[in-house]
Each structure stands twice: as structure tokens, then as C-alpha cells.
Copies of this chain bind each other. A is one copy, B any other.
Amino acid sequence: MLKRQFDACLIRPGDIPASRDDLEVVGAFNPGAVATGNGNEVALLVRVAERPREQRAGYTPLPRWNVDAGEVVVDWVADDELEVVDPRIMQQKRDGLWRLTFTSHIRVVRSPDGRSIGAIDDTLFVPQEMYEEFGVEDPRITRIGGTFYFTYVAVSRHGAATALASTTDFRTFQRHGLIFCPENKDVVLFPEQINGEYVAIHRPNPSSPFNMPEMWLARSPDLVNWGRHEHFLGGAGSWDTGRIGAGTPPIRTPAGWLAIYHGNQKETDPGVVGAYAAGALLMDLENPAKIIRRSPEPVLTVTAEHERVGFVPNVVFPTGIVERGDSLLVYCGAADSATGVVELSCQELLVTTSGTEPGRYI
């Protein structure tokens, strides 16, 4: 585990005004983050999860985005009509459909220096398409030229797919449709073309028990259409046996493309989510499918209180990265509730020793 040179909880749910009086914010987490080029400013796209404030004995309120009405509506479902899957998910007995107990939108938050919060903008990126009826989640931002592209998870009755949008000002947004069909999450874009092609890391989640947790790579001429899928990285078999997926978008270093990814341990108890941690990856500059090194141990584990306690305890989930001289500011979702930032030394991340053994994290 690397030394955290700086560590702060940037945003808690109570910091974000609800989008409507009858909803309360239960999470402000899993942020995309990018340097805007305006001094030290960092723009964050924060996933805001809301649930109805009202409670009714014997009923569970299940919010969803009504595409026609253009707003959140709430279905009140009798508790005995629902099966609890985990704290976030209920299954409707009548049709087997999974429902979320909250709905997410994306909010623009500005940081003047990357280490503290400034304005919480009024700008909301809310669901619009039928593929977003259960929310838009977990944006990851990559600046390509003068445009900020972000992938996000579009959740609906059809599953969790990944969509692409872009902005130049974080006030207006352009949608580019679903780029990876269900089930696919944790998509990050490389910041430039490599050998004339855009590259993404994605995380398909197939139904077949053939599959172990693994990340894939895809290539594109235009960011909208993707092909030449190839297997990229599976779990190393220790801390990342349950899930594995891209975390921060890759950044270019002289040694290779550097990225931080997440994993968690497989839990055999149903409904129990294993602790999340993060590892580091170094990829070949010319062919990122070629992994030069990966950290033998996590570089981030659950440490701070806001990572230990929350809606889903014991989650540190890196989703954004900003370079600051020799340091990296890594933005993380914490316990599916809050947004944290951790400062790491880029040099240590690349070459630091691991414990008492001489070696390299990555």
C-alpha cells in the first residue's frame, strides 16, 4: 500500500442539495475528475444517488426516471412483493425484475485546487433515454483535444450498459449513445489515439460461468463505434478475485500508460460485498494491450473512515486522476456514499518498494 501524501473526504451526501424536495441525497460518490486547464481547477462529475424521503409502513419506494414525463417517479411496492438482493437492489416477485432503491444522476462540482470543493453547480446530467430509467452512474472523464468525453453507466430493465457523452464547458452535454451493450461497466478512454485508433478498457460481465472477473480492451476510429475486442486483464487471484475493473483513465508516463484499477475479494455469503481495493497497471505506450507490470499488492486499500463506513462499507473505488507535478490526485468513491481524494507520488507508484522486499509496485 502506498503512502497517502494527502487524504480528504471532499464531498459527503449532505453537501449536495437534493434535485427535488421529496428526495434525499444518500450518495455523492464515484466521481469523474479532470483538470479543466483553468489554473489548478478540477471539474468533477459526481454520481448523486437519491431516494424518496417519505416512508410508508409495509411498502418500499422504488424510484425510476419516467422518460416521457422527464422526471423521477416513485413506485410504492408492498414489501411482501419484493425480495431483498442486497442493500441496493430489490427483486420484484411478480416479474423477476430487479429494481434499485435509489436513482442516480450526475452533478457538476468544481474544485479550485483539486483538494477542496468550491462551487456545486446547478448543472445536472439527468437520465433521458429508456436505457437510463434506473439512473446514470459512475462517469469517467478523459480530455481528448479540447473536449471532455465521459463514459457513464446507463441502468435500465435491460441491464447496465455504458454510454458516451461529451462537453466542452460542463454546462451543456452531447450524448453519443450506448457504446457497450449490457452488461458492461467501468469503461475508461485513453487520452489520445494510439497508432491512429482510440482505445478503451471495458468490463463485460457475461452470464456464462465460463467467465472469471476480467477487463477487456477495444479500439475505435471515432469513439462511438468499437471493435477488435481483446481480453486484457483478469484477477491476480488474491485481493481481486471477486470483481475487477478499470478505475482511473490511463495517463501517459515515460515508462508507459499508467492506470489504477479496482478489485474486490469474492464473498461467498449472498448479499455481502467484499472489501474493495485498488491496484496499479503499467501498459506499453505503443500497444496498451501489452501489460508491462502490475502491482503485486493493492496500492490503495480501505483506510479512511469515509471509506470504511457508508451505504456499502469498505469501498475505495478510484474513478478519476489528475497530474500535479510529481504527484497524482486520485479521486475515489468511498463506501458508495462519499467522494474522497488521495495524493500519491507518481514516482513511488512507478518504482516504490513493497514492504521489506525490494521490488516495484508496478
Interface residues, chain A, with chain B CB atoms under 8 Å away: 91, 96-98, 130-131, 156-161, 176-184, 202, 204-212, 214, 216, 218-222, 224-231
Contact = CB atoms under 8 A, between A and B. Distances in A.
A204 B230 contact: no
A178 B208 contact: no
Given A222-B221, A224-B228, A228-B178, A207 B210 contact: no
Contact of A98 (B156, B184, B208): B208
A182 B208 contact: yes
Given A227-B177, A231-B131, A182 B160 contact: no
B159 A183 contact: no
Contact of A227 (B179, B184, B210, B219): B179
Nearest to A216: B181
A207 B212 CA distance: 12
Q: 5 closest A-B pairs (Cβ-Cβ)?
A: A183-B206, A225-B225, A225-B227, A177-B228, A178-B229
Contacts of A225: 219-222, 225-228
A101 to B, nearest CB: 14
A220 B224 CA distance: 9
Nearest to A221: B225
Given A182-B204, A183-B211, A222-B225, 8 more contacts: A178-B227, A178-B228, A179-B229, A181-B218, A205-B208, A219-B225, A220-B225, A225-B225
Contacts of A219: 225
Nearest to A198: B225
A130 B156 CA distance: 33
A140 to B, nearest CB: 17
A91 B159 CA distance: 27
A230 B160 contact: no
A159 B221 contact: no
B181 A202 contact: yes
A178 B204 CA distance: 13
A23 to B, nearest CB: 23
Contacts of A218: 181
Contacts of A226: 225-227
A178 B230 contact: yes
Contacts of A216: 181
Given A178-B229, A178-B230, A206 B209 contact: no
B205 A206 contact: yes
A225 to B, nearest CB: 4
A225 B223 CA distance: 10
Given A131-B231, A225-B221, A182 B206 contact: yes
Contacts of A209: 91, 96, 98
A158 B221 contact: no
Nearest to A99: B210
A202 to B, nearest CB: 7
Contacts of A231: 130-131, 158
A204 B227 contact: no
A183 B158 contact: no
A258 to B, nearest CB: 24
Contacts of A157: 210, 212
A6 to B, nearest CB: 37
A149 to B, nearest CB: 13
